[in-house]
Amino acid sequence: MNLRLRLTLTYALLTSLLLALAALGVFWGTRGQIQKNTDTALEDVGAVLRQNLQEDRQLNLDDAQITADFSVVVMDHSGLVLAQSGVPHPLMKALHPVGWYSGEKFRLLVLPLNAQTVLMVGKDTHESTLFLKTLLRILLPIYLVLMLLSMGLGYLLADRALRPVDTVTRKAREITETGRYQERVPGVIGNDEMAQLVLTFNEMLDHLQSTIEREKTFARLAAHELRTPLTILQGRIGLALARERDISSYQKHLSEMQGGVDRLVNLTETLLKFSQAEQVLVEQVDLQLAVQQAVQEFPESVRQQIQTQLQSSWVQAETVALQQLIFNLLDNALKYGPANENILLQVEDHQLTVQDAGKGPPREEWERLLRPLERGMSPHHPAGSGLGLAFVASVCQQWNATLTPHWLPEGFQVTVKFQLAEAQQHLSQENPTC
């Protein structure tokens, strides 16, 4: 059973229950009002007759103006009828205690007349019963017609409400079959749940298209980067095998090929680290400790160039990826800054700062360098893999951290402002003056 039919049946069921309750309310309300009017009429007639009989002290009902639908009987406590008017109902042939009584199409009121007699006033309710039956015969067809109308209206409403869902389903199936991820679902006017569904679906397609295009670009660039060293390696192997050589010649060729293999291994490991940047987790990390561990990865001669100014700071990041981020920023500063110049590495207020004495890349080149396999120019180092800054930009996006370059008179500076860890947030709230 599809959703449309389930919604239609649910709507019809609820509407039917409401209509049934309304019909019952009308019927029982009308019935109650008729009975109330009958009881009021009996009370009025009984009161008038009782007063007249008590004042005249004669049991004469001939002068009483009583309509044909009323019956009156005066009876003593032994059950003897002393006087009557109209055609008595069988219910009035026996003595009853004071109170109200109901029979088939009849209503009876018993009143005390004096210590020895009672007054019984009854009213024929045949016309009221016929009216109620007629009302029931009218309400039943109306109920059935309204129930059918509610089913039709429920289906129309369900169809209208689910039409955007059908559009999303068809578009999703079409995109899956054709692979055209650039297509979008037409927007829905309004701000209801269906409009939000279409908007969210289109946003998901935007993200999916961006991811696919990024992966395609990365795969294409990675293949290009790997093809060049592989082609060189293949040429050297072919050259080495072209003719017989002595051992020293083979060793020379193997040594050259070893360098190419090492470059391939480094490039592959860098590509692997970059691909893992999309899968990093977020946890509370000690930024100061991560900086100290990243600095230790450099040789002693290089560590002497790195000046640190560190404060305790807990941030939202991931330990291994954070160390790689710090290493990449330091490595870029060493490669592209002036040779043998000091590098300033600072941690303060959940912010990491790396500054060298160089001019930095041209401002218009910064956005390009954040893309995978885009390289900068270094005057005293060979070109890198082109993935260092791309890795930094990727993990910063994952952590909602802000990566900002600064071209200063004293050098080029890069800052990364992290999200403050929860533990340090609580500490800052408890010590607002810190």
Predicted pLDDT of residue 258:
79
Residue 112 lies inside a defined structural domain of this protein: yes
349 and 401, same structural domain?
yes
379 and 268, same structural domain?
no
- Strand order across the 70-76 sheet: 81-85, 70-76, 117-124, 106-112, 99-103
306 and 209, same structural domain?
no
The dihedral of CA 302, 307, 313, 316: what is its sign? negative
324 and 204, same structural domain?
no
Structural domain that includes position 29: 3-129
Q: At what angle do helices 247-276 and 193-241 cross, to 10 degrees?
A: 180
208 and 112, same structural domain?
no
Helices within 72-192 (DSSP H only): 126-178
CATH assignment of the domain containing 201: 1.10.287.130
User: 242, 276, 310 — which closes off a domain?
Assistant: 276
Residue 35 lies inside a defined structural domain of this protein: yes
Residue 91 lies inside a defined structural domain of this protein: yes
pLDDT at 275 over 90: no
Per-residue pLDDT reduced to its tens digit, 17-59: 888 899 899 999 998 999 999 999 999 988 888 888 777 665 5
Out of 169-183, 368-382, 396-410, give the one with best mean pLDDT.
396-410
- Length of the chain in residues, anyone? 434
User: 107, 129, 151 — which closes off a domain?
Assistant: 129
Residue 187 lies inside a defined structural domain of this protein: no
197 and 304, same structural domain?
no
Residue 188 lies inside a defined structural domain of this protein: no
Asked if residues 84 and 123 have their Cβ atoms less than 8 Å apart, the reply is no
The number of distinct structural domains making up the chain is 3
Asked which of 78-92, 150-164, 271-285 is least confident by mean pLDDT, the reply is: 271-285
422 and 294, same structural domain?
yes
289 and 417, same structural domain?
yes
pLDDT at 406 over 70: yes
Task: Supply the DSSP symbol for 283.
Answer: E
**Which helix (H) or strand (E) segment is 308 a member of?**
strand 306-310
Q: Could you tell me the pLDDT band of residue 286, with boundaries at 50, 70 and 90?
A: very high
Distance from C-alpha of 398 to C-alpha of 395, rounded to nearest angstrom: 5
User: 276, 295, 319 — which closes off a domain?
Assistant: 276
Amino acid at 133: K
Phi, psi of 88 (to 5 degrees): -65, 140
Pairing of strands 306-310, 343-347: parallel
The share of the chain scoring above pLDDT 90, in percent, equals 16
Out of 208-222, 278-292, 366-380, give the one with best mean pLDDT.
278-292
Q: Could you tell me the pLDDT band of residue 376, with boundaries at 50, 70 and 90?
A: low
Mapped onto helix, strand or coil, the DSSP state of residue 97 is: coil
229 and 299, same structural domain?
no
Which is higher by pLDDT, 83 or 213? 83
Predicted pLDDT of residue 427:
47
Asked if residues 26 and 113 have their Cβ atoms less than 8 Å apart, the reply is no
Strand partners, 46: none
pLDDT at 181 over 90: no
Average pLDDT in the 282-304 region? 89
